[in-house]
Structure 1
């Protein structure tokens, strides 16, 4: 039999003795569990989720619910009680265990009436006596207010644990769509998880990337700075953090390279703390910038990746557990980078000709659809006497000739112009030009490039007219190409 006064009295006594928000939630759950066979759970707002901090009546509960999801999310967001007598008609009900025949969910309110979480009760046995939902609702709402007031007095819901932080940042890393996003998010995660004020990612400049000649050393938002042979990336949002990152950037490529190499060489992490008490030899340049604490963890195996550097101008002694968390973040970042690289390779293979590496029909159709009439020219290209090469020297020689020719033609095009292989020995160049004369000049450079590798090509040129479909422009370019063939090959013709 439900006895609300006694329950309220027992809860009040237990709440008075609670020393934390978790203790307070457990007190309410423990008292309620002695008066009902319902499944009981208290969920509090912790960062970006409603997290279960106490429960009874079932070994399976919703430990974490995104804000706004499910019945508890709705109750938390609205601050209003939900009473369900038929959960099957509620689209927001999330089923986990046995069939629920009745549910009461009330908001846990602080002393100003703002929701801190939700108190949820579910009855699952159809054989048990039907609970007096009206009486239980009144009781639960009173307990929700008492619990919320006590949690408010104790300083609010519990802080996010390190494990929860790591999980949140791992999800964000996994959702990153570009390398830049991965680096920015792992730097932000390192700041949050380590408790240090600043974090950067250092990576070596790839051999095929030309280092910019004049890159201003200044950090704003998610910046990528080219310093000597090192790229420094940061996502420091605060002014204080930007100052510290700037000081580190001012060290230059040589000193940053030392940090990079020490972690990458053996794939090991290391930490520094309190240079006044501990030996700072080998890191004098870093400590002179004001850095008093630092954790460095590798991203990727050995010399292949970069390093994650978290640092602060406040003295601290990095705990091994925090160093381990940064190592996990570095591993997660490398996994995400490897996934992005794999996706890029797969997309390239799916859209490229395996012989020449040029893009083929699918991407060409997309580029054609996006062409700007009046400023786009199509250059239809055919290799002269290609069949003779195959018949005389074999298909292997023909393949080599196509590869050499493709490289020569592509190297001649300007940045932004694109070359596609759309047939055996048929290519199309898409170029942005202001006039027919410039399109002809591009075609002349292409024919000259072909001659330099010992081949000749025929090129038909057509400037896309306004209101003309790309397919029509390509047809006119083909017709101009046939005109070159009729004239004896090795040349170009501009479609009228």
Structure 2
């Protein structure tokens, strides 16, 4: 037993905790008083964590410079004690896969579940020491402190509900994790309902003939779909956030007839994104509720976060599109050229290397702008000559490559002839080299053979097709 343990009169510690818990007026205060009382008798790092929504949240702590705000119930030693409802003692924390390190080296950790009178775990009391202590003694003490705390929490109404700020933070994380517009819009709608406390959130985007509504559900939402026009959306778009402060039966609701006629008695309207976008988040209810300014501020923060995440998704989509398309010609692909030729099937996939004849002369004589226009026209002409499923890539300058699947070599050269004919329709000519991928051949070597065949066409006068390795 350490000197610290020798100075701990267990009865005095427990009576101190009990006396201070009796003075607590709230659950948070009870946790803080229990931690403070225990910290008077030991230099441990102490934390109380209560289950709030889907996390174990730190409600009070002492002795540590830094603490985790929350952990998932399945994480860490505290999560394990909470989930199992049984105390945990660690004498070699480094060997425990669930131990979460934070701060100084810990020699002993003791964690006791905080139980409701029914025996249901509602949290955990965690103590950590940097020097050896009597683990058995502290396990008993931790369990008794946790029992006293659990009883007092029950007397005060149970663990605290998730605050609106905590809800907003949780939804903000979900918005950030959304991988598509559809998922994001669904998350925004659910978050708006949760944070505001109103029943029916609707995301309205103005159109030429009214407003497109997202997230509409329930009878009130369906009535809104039938009646909502552009007036309310335009008002929020132009002037910003607004909310109701009373019953439209007793207060003049002029200008909001389309909402009142649908059965709306309470509303928060928040613009989403820049003014020229025009989207508006409407959260309405059939009951008369006066939203307080703090709630409205949270909804505004939610709308801001939603727009930021939506803008990020659009940026990512734009980057993906640029990565799989040529910005000049607009040729679009399911993946990069390297990925496509890597999937080439031996004896079935042909690469057609295509070069615009005398393209340098066009640039030198008429300028690069004229050259770019030729490339755009050429891409359209070549694309029109290919079959469904064939892919055309611009791999640099005036060089294109078509990737086609064929049954025979002459089928590939036939496609090459169509490409040559297509170029002639716009007053240009191309040289085409064709190569089928061989078994065991790297796709880069197949392309090199197609290029060699293309230059054979160039040497023979351009405007033609040649199959690689043909006499």
What's the secondary structure of 1:116's corresponding residue?
strand
Q: Are 1:111 and 2:132 matched, yes or no?
A: no
Q: 1:179 corresponds to which residue?
A: 181
Deviations 1:111-167 (A, max 9, x none): 33332111012234x4xxx54321221121122233224434544311111111111
Mapped partners of 2:440, 2:259: distance in 1:
62
Normalised by the length of structure 1, the TM-score is: 0.77
Mapped partners of 2:230, 2:404: distance in 1:
41
Deviation at 1:102, TM superposition (A): 2.5
What's the secondary structure of 2:230's corresponding residue?
helix
Q: 2:4 corresponds to which residue?
A: none
The 10-residue stretch of structure 1 (270-279 or 391-400) with the greater mean CA deviation from structure 2: 391-400
Normalised by the length of structure 2, the TM-score is: 0.80
The residue correspondences of 1:322-341 to structure 2 (distance < 5 A) are 322-341=295-314
Mapped partners of 2:37, 2:312: distance in 1:
50
Q: 1:53 corresponds to which residue?
A: 59
Residue 232 of structure 1: which of 190, 213, 219 is its match?
Answer: 213
Q: Is the 8 A contact 2:229 2:258 kept in 1?
A: no
Change (3 A) 1:393 1:37: closer
Change (3 A) 1:398 1:45: same
The residue correspondences of 1:25-174 to structure 2 (distance < 5 A) are 25-58=31-64, 60-124=66-130, 126=131, 131-174=133-176
Residue 267 of structure 2: which of 279, 291, 294 is its match?
Answer: 294
Mapped partners of 1:370, 1:250: distance in 2:
51
Q: How many residues align?
A: 462
Q: Are 1:249 and 2:251 matched, yes or no?
A: no
Mapped partners of 1:85, 1:464: distance in 2:
64
Q: Is the 8 A contact 1:265 1:303 kept in 2?
A: no
Q: Is the 8 A contact 2:46 2:127 kept in 1?
A: yes
Q: Is the 8 A contact 1:193 1:325 kept in 2?
A: yes
Q: Is the 8 A contact 2:241 2:271 kept in 1?
A: yes
Deviation at 1:284, TM superposition (A): 1.0
Q: 1:393 corresponds to which residue?
A: 366
What's the secondary structure of 2:270's corresponding residue?
strand
Residue 201 of structure 2: which of 195, 199, 202 is its match?
Answer: 199
Deviation at 1:176, TM superposition (A): 1.9
Change (3 A) 1:279 1:351: same
The residue correspondences of 1:475-490 to structure 2 (distance < 5 A) are none
Q: Is the 8 A contact 1:299 1:305 kept in 2?
A: yes
What's the secondary structure of 2:336's corresponding residue?
helix
Deviation at 1:280, TM superposition (A): 1.8
Q: Is the 8 A contact 1:484 1:493 kept in 2?
A: yes
Change (3 A) 1:141 1:412: farther
What's the secondary structure of 2:89's corresponding residue?
strand
Q: Is the 8 A contact 2:51 2:159 kept in 1?
A: yes
Change (3 A) 1:297 1:392: same
What's the secondary structure of 1:307's corresponding residue?
strand
Deviation at 1:21, TM superposition (A): 2.6
Mapped partners of 1:112, 1:122: distance in 2:
28
What's the secondary structure of 1:402's corresponding residue?
helix
Q: Is the 8 A contact 1:361 1:422 kept in 2?
A: no
The residue correspondences of 1:250-269 to structure 2 (distance < 5 A) are 250-251=226-227, 255-266=228-239, 268-269=240-241
What's the secondary structure of 1:201's corresponding residue?
strand
Is there any run of 5+ residues in structure 1 with no aligned partner, and where? 206-226
Change (3 A) 1:398 1:361: farther
Q: Is the 8 A contact 1:360 1:421 kept in 2?
A: no
Mapped partners of 1:231, 1:415: distance in 2:
35
Deviation at 1:352, TM superposition (A): 4.5
The 10-residue stretch of structure 1 (43-52 or 475-484) with the greater mean CA deviation from structure 2: 475-484
Mapped partners of 1:86, 1:47: distance in 2:
32
Mapped partners of 2:282, 2:434: distance in 1:
54
Mapped partners of 1:54, 1:435: distance in 2:
75
Residue 402 of structure 1: which of 366, 375, 382 is its match?
Answer: 375
Change (3 A) 1:482 1:57: closer
The 10-residue stretch of structure 1 (37-46 or 22-31) with the greater mean CA deviation from structure 2: 22-31
Change (3 A) 1:468 1:315: farther
Change (3 A) 1:122 1:296: same
Choose 1 or 2 for highest CA Rg: 2
What RMSD over aligned residues (CA atoms) do the two structures have, in Å?
4.1
Q: Are 1:271 and 2:243 matched, yes or no?
A: yes
Mapped partners of 1:276, 1:374: distance in 2:
78
The 10-residue stretch of structure 1 (317-326 or 441-450) with the greater mean CA deviation from structure 2: 441-450
Deviation at 1:322, TM superposition (A): 1.3
Deviation at 1:374, TM superposition (A): 11
The residue correspondences of 1:303-314 to structure 2 (distance < 5 A) are 303-304=276-277, 306-314=279-287
Residue 30 of structure 2: which of 21, 24, 28 is its match?
Answer: 24
Q: Is the 8 A contact 2:233 2:278 kept in 1?
A: no
Q: Are 1:4 and 2:18 matched, yes or no?
A: no
Q: Is the 8 A contact 1:360 1:422 kept in 2?
A: no
